[in-house]
Amino acid sequence: MPDTATLSQPILQIDAVTKEFDGTTAVDRVTLDVAEGEFVTLLGPSGCGKSTLLRMMAGFETPTSGRILMRGEDMSKDPAYEREIGLVFQNLALFPHMNVYDNVAFGLRARKRTEGLDRKVRDILALVGLEGFETRRTGQISGGQRQRVALARSLVTSPDVLLLDEPLSALDLKLRRQLQVELKRIQKETGITFIFVTHDQEEALSMSDRIAVMNAGRVEQFSSAVETYHHPQTRFVAQFVGETNLVEARAVSRDAVGAVLAVDGIDQPFSVPLVEGSGIGAGDSVWISIRPEYMTLGPNTDPAPTGPTLTGQVVSHSFSGSTVTYALDSAAGPLLAQVPFRAGEGHPFPNGETVQISWAADTTTVIPG
């Protein structure tokens, strides 16, 4: 599936950017194109280089090598204040001695853009849902409201690009979910390009047009949220974005659209689709990723279902509302299966039970070994 967002001239181009801090490579040859109006997320574990990459876009750090272009112009050497880029950080620094209105107006006043200032400030406060809070001091509002002030303060100058470094991470889950939805709405309404940093994969999936999954300074995959979840290209991406089953397999043969795979514990080799340009050939060792929700469980006495099937034992199971997640032991290694659960059905499979585990072959993602 092609990503559509790359068609127009990119607003921001990160071209083979590397950042080294005496000996450590924080960002390692990252290349990304961001389209105008896009919501792009940098997703990855702590220390993988997300903030460093963002700080280079903002102009707070200079790349060791590589270029950063905005609308085609190299801005690697431009100081931060010359860039049409706004910033929202996790540890936001609002001015405590100023009220909400003056905090938001600050950027316009500092840039001497005072024409229509009152209208702009009030429009932005309405956009972030803070009408009526104009005269409150920042110490007299909640954490979520402070986060909105920080957002309003960055939005009011109409930057071309807004960089947001874990802006929601200090908030409790409920408020966080609410602000995720609002942030997405504001982004769509303003049309401003957002580069958003998080280590929360659910947040990334729910908000982004595209996600750049980072690991140890590198971007391992840059694709739409749906593509990232359903077609992870590396083992790291498969495991970091959602839960998955990773199983070793061997390609028995391959043709134009797919391959036939053999897996220990599964009697019959099975055909799976391959993404275009996949370099996998007959005889190669590969990994397959199957999401737990695509696994089906049945009694061991049932006739074998179509699709890859193996037997296993229930190690444990946990109930989470509408589903039950089983931890299973099988000849292919430990597996997870998440199956729908409805009231009155009871737990069909107790711990220790031998069950049949299967999935539809076309829900298998093949990852190079």
Ligand X SMILES: Nc1ncnc2c1ncn2[C@@H]1O[C@H](COP(=O)(O)OP(=O)(O)OP(=O)(O)O)[C@@H](O)[C@H]1O
Q: Indicate whether 51 belongs to the interface with ligand X (CB under 6 A).
A: yes
| Residue given tokens 């750049």 in the structure block | 212
Kindly indicate which of the ranges 35-43, 49-57, 149-157, 277-285 contains the residues binding Mg ion, using the contact rule CB under 5 A: 49-57
Near ligand X by CB under 6 A: residue from 47, 281, 283, 334: 47
Q: Indicate whether 41 belongs to the interface with Mg ion (CB under 5 A).
A: no
Least distance in angstroms from the C-beta of 14 to ligand X? 14
Near ligand X by CB under 6 A: residue from 6, 8, 9, 24: 24
Kindly indicate which of the ranges 50-58, 97-105, 244-252, 257-265 contains the residues binding ligand X, using the contact rule CB under 6 A: 50-58
Classify residue 268 by burial, with Cβ atoms within 10 Å: 0-12, 13-18, 19+.
exposed
The answer to whether 213 touches 228, Cβ cutoff 8 Å, is: yes
CA distances from residue 297 to 99, 115, 346, 363 in whole angstroms, order as listed: 59, 66, 14, 15
Q: Indicate whether 52 belongs to the interface with Mg ion (CB under 5 A).
A: no
Q: Indicate whether 221 belongs to the interface with Mg ion (CB under 5 A).
A: no
Q: Indicate whether 193 belongs to the interface with Mg ion (CB under 5 A).
A: no
* For Mg ion, the closer CB: 51 or 289: 51
| Residue given tokens 């700080």 in the structure block | 55
Near Mg ion by CB under 5 A: residue from 41, 51, 180, 325: 51
CA nearest to 232, candidates 343, 127, 364: 364
Near ligand X by CB under 6 A: residue from 120, 148, 153, 199: 199
Q: Indicate whether 218 belongs to the interface with ligand X (CB under 6 A).
A: no
Q: Which residues, at least 6 apart from 173, have a Cβ–Cβ distance to it below 8 Å?
A: none
Q: Indicate whether 232 belongs to the interface with ligand X (CB under 6 A).
A: no
Residue 112 one-letter amino acid: K
Q: How far apart are CA 122 and CA 115, in angstroms?
A: 13
Least distance in angstroms from the C-beta of 130 to Mg ion? 27
Q: Indicate whether 52 belongs to the interface with ligand X (CB under 6 A).
A: yes
212 is written with which tokens?
């750049």
CA nearest to 332, candidates 261, 263, 284: 263
Q: Which does 247 bind (CB under 5 to 8 A by kind): Mg ion, ligand X, none?
A: none
Q: Give the residues lining the site for Mg ion (CB under 5 A).
A: 51
